[in-house]
Chain A
Amino acid sequence: MNKASAVAPQDTADKPVTGPFTGNEAIARGVWEAGVKVAAAYPGTPSTEIMENVAKYPAEDLHAQWSTNEKTALDTAIGGSFAGVRSFAAMKHVGMNVASDALMSFSYIGVNAGLVVLVCDDPGIHSSQNEQDTRVFAGFAQVPVIEPSDGQEALDFTKYAFDLSEKFETPVIVRATTRLSHTRSEVKVGARVEPDDKGFDENPSKNVMVPMNARRQHPVVLKRTDDIAVELAEGPLTQVEIRGGKLGGKVGVITMAMSYVYVKEVMGDVSVLKLAGSYPLSESHIRKFTDQFERIIVVEELEPVVENALKIMGIAVEGKSLFPRIGEFSPEIVREGFVKAGLLEEKKHKGAFDLAPMARPPVLCSGCPHTSCYMALRALDARVAGDIGCYTLAVAQPLEAIDTCVSMGSSIANAVGMAKAGTETKPIIATIGDSTFLHSGIPPLIDAVYNNANITVFLLDNHITAMTGGQEHPGTGITLRGEKTAKVDYTQLIKALGVEWVETVDSYDMASMYQSLREAVEFKGVSVVISDRPCVLDPVKIKGQAFTVDQEKCVACQSCMNLGCPALTWSEGWYEGRHKVEIDPQSCMGCSICAQICPTDSIAL
């Protein structure tokens, strides 16, 4: 018996809401409608809002949680599937790297109840460290990937993914991109349908991946993949649009996801095979389409996944010779590709103005507790291994206080390697935020202690996952649903790992923070300094009295401008050829750091 659930909070009476939903809101709705009972994620732009929105549906319907990282999120979802309920994990593309260990094995095991992994790619690198293509991962893990192209599909495909998952006992990846996730459009919604709980599947020969079982499962996975290819090609997600006109019989376009809407925007009357997803593909079904045309053009963002698959099938296709492999697509870029193919007239896009736009890179906020930390590191002239978070912005002018940044949690082990290389004369400091430390900073800290590395770890605890918009984590003591829970005590934790030198400082107190850092770098071995100051934006926006600059006293030394604080700017006044400084009272939140570093005491309340 299927049980229809109570209406979602957004629903009113019998009329379903129809948005406008962002792609992420639509995915969350799909998760809820599919009857999911266990959902987990680690925040990461552009995927963050999915789990935030899943958590808006009633706690009686499903358990939704922040996990410490993407692997624990996926493992939690896998546990849910083992236990017989539909389960879901969401992450950004680079999160899949972290979760992939579990995915690779679980692909062999296969699901009990449906399991869907939502991965958001970031073509164009709006807010990431690379633009890897999750479709490659799908092929690698032999897990099907389906790719919605708008908000409605985001909901529908997500729901369908659970059915597919259960029918073929496979995890399924739904791939979104930044553009899909952050576009609002009208979405028709349905009711929640909860499948019956399946209960735990007591089947160790399937669920325990020892070599003997894995060897037996590998051919099962290959067979499964062939069957899924046919299912997807014949299923409702694949669309074939045959058009007559002057291109009829001549040109066929194969596309998917956001690329599809750009094709429709610029090439309204071309025949299109819109794929459900890029992996797996059924050769016989693809040929049914391609055999009708003289020329086949594949339009896909990022890697030539489908293009290469078709070439392996021996089908002549054009793809990356026309469309870039780098960056995000746009109507112009797709149009240019068709112009290159000789199918569209060139169109002049250049506007009437020839202006050089002013650079406006993102900056640390006014009053950001990280700013003074990096100012202090700058004064220490340290070698700084950075990590992922808002504080990576300290690499830019004027702070210029970070030397490296690789991936989540890399900083500490990077610092260990630098120290062990024995070439560095500067003090070596790893800087890492609270959420990133919990994500993947603890094992490398254990490494550092175990191998007695002479490094300092500067834990920048701003009590929130800030970069992604302010999510709770185990260090805040509050769950995704806003309930109180256990709170990580960093000092206790770090001491338990064997670190002998730990001190907590307030980054709004420049002098004592600087003193602590100096002592920490003088300590031989692993020392940890914890900066304990909340983010000024989340969970609450902090605004205090604004400081002002005494224009008579300011000597335009630019010491405060080195903070890069957005509340500080040049005034109309000059001193010996340099602009004096003033403070925007709207933006200044009163942290007092600039007043503390001003050598002439020109800044006061």
Chain B
Amino acid sequence: MAEKKNGPTNVLIVGVGGQGVIMVSKVLAMLCQNHGYEVKQSEVHGMAKRGGGVFSHVRFGSSVWSPTIPVGEADVLVALEWAEALRWINYMNPQTGTFIADTQKIVPPFACRVRDRGADAMYSEETPAEIMENVRAGYAMDATSIAEDLGNLKAANTVLLGALSNSLEFSVDAWLEVIRSFVPPKSIDINMEAFAKGREWAQAGPKRVDENAKGRGVSGRDLHKQVETKLEITEEWCKGCDICVKMCPERCLRLNDQLISELHKPDACTGCRMCEWLCPDFAIKITNTPIMEPAE
């Protein structure tokens, strides 16, 4: 720990439901209690289990009052996922805090909801390198790939614990003893190795970014931004079978009073051609006309 204040030590652990945030914080809480500290570990679960964000506050010291860490007072932020790291980054003490994050991206379906042409997933745009410029100490590491190389993706959390171990006073043996008691017997060896890898990775200096961080995510450039979509329905051919209405991914078609298909939400139509392809009577025609030359 860089400089220690009077109050408790604060570690904030964050991630996505199912990643093991609670397990990581239980390991830390047990470790602190084994060393005679008063510990409070606070989490909120419930909705979070279902792919939402999960956070857990761990505070330890000679005495601890609030179970939650005040904003701006976390000594270490440990993030199991990149966008979650960014969500909680301001909980970190800007002068003394250490930032530890897995660079892996978990892109939620909610981020893929804009269907405009050329729209990208609405994932956080800040890169590890940008963030690292503005933290006092930090490690943006591809812990998931490190764990994958060891043969078990789930050991990514232990890689991060290895990195965290540099920031806290406990001995390596004490860490390993507690981790051993939490992981399934058959994965003990991999977790021991994962811890060593994480610890070693973060020992290279006060700041380190994994340049090759892969992560799962969406990027890329689109060449079809400016297109005008026209949907035409030959009413004489439509027999009102309802297939296009039911299958339209954007729900922009309906049957009118005469049971003929009509486009009632033209703004929602993305020109995906589903209705055109599925219409058994060839009554629908889609034309997508570029209104501008693709850039570059």
Contact = CB atoms under 8 A, between A and B. Distances in A.
Nearest to A396: B110
Nearest to A558: B249
Given A184-B29, A258-B67, A348-B72, 17 more contacts: A20-B30, A127-B46, A331-B68, A349-B70, A352-B94, A359-B110, A360-B16, A365-B51, A379-B246, A396-B110, A537-B49, A557-B274, A569-B107, A569-B112, A574-B222, A599-B247, A599-B274
Interface stretch (B115-123, B167-175, B176-184, B230-238): B115-123
Contacts of A358: 83, 86-87, 108, 111, 122-124
Contacts of A561: 109, 112, 249
A365 B111 CA distance: 16
Interface stretch (A78-86, A260-268, A486-494): A260-268
A335 B70 CA distance: 10
Interface stretch (A160-168, A308-316, A575-583): A575-583
Interface string B59-70: 000001111111
B115 A558 contact: yes
B288 to A, nearest CB: 6
A362 B48 contact: yes
Interface in A190-220: none
A261 B65 contact: yes
A566 B39 contact: no
Interface string A8-47: 0000000000011000000000000000000000000110
Given A357-B124, A558-B115, A398 B90 contact: no
Interface in B94-130: 94, 107-113, 115, 117-124, 126
Nearest to B121: A570
Chain A binding surface SS class: loop
Interface string B69-85: 11110000000000110
B272 interface: yes
Contacts of B86: 353, 355, 357-358
Interface of A: 19-20, 45-46, 126-127, 150, 178-179, 182-186, 258, 261-262, 264-265, 330-332, 335, 348-353, 355, 357-365, 378-379, 390, 393, 396-398, 467-469, 537, 555-559, 561-566, 568-572, 574, 576-579, 584, 586, 599-600
B87 A179 contact: no
Q: Which 8 A-B pairs have the closest CB atoms?
A: A351-B90, A127-B46, A577-B224, A362-B52, A577-B117, A45-B46, A357-B87, A331-B70
Contacts of A586: 153
A5 B280 CA distance: 75
Contact of A20 (B41, B250, B277): B41
Contacts of B153: 586
B166 interface: no
A536 to B, nearest CB: 11
Contacts of B216: 569, 584
21 contacts: A20-B29, A20-B39, A179-B68, A183-B42, A186-B33, A332-B70, A332-B71, A349-B70, A352-B94, A358-B108, A358-B123, A360-B108, A379-B246, A397-B110, A469-B45, A561-B109, A570-B120, A572-B219, A577-B118, A578-B272, A579-B119
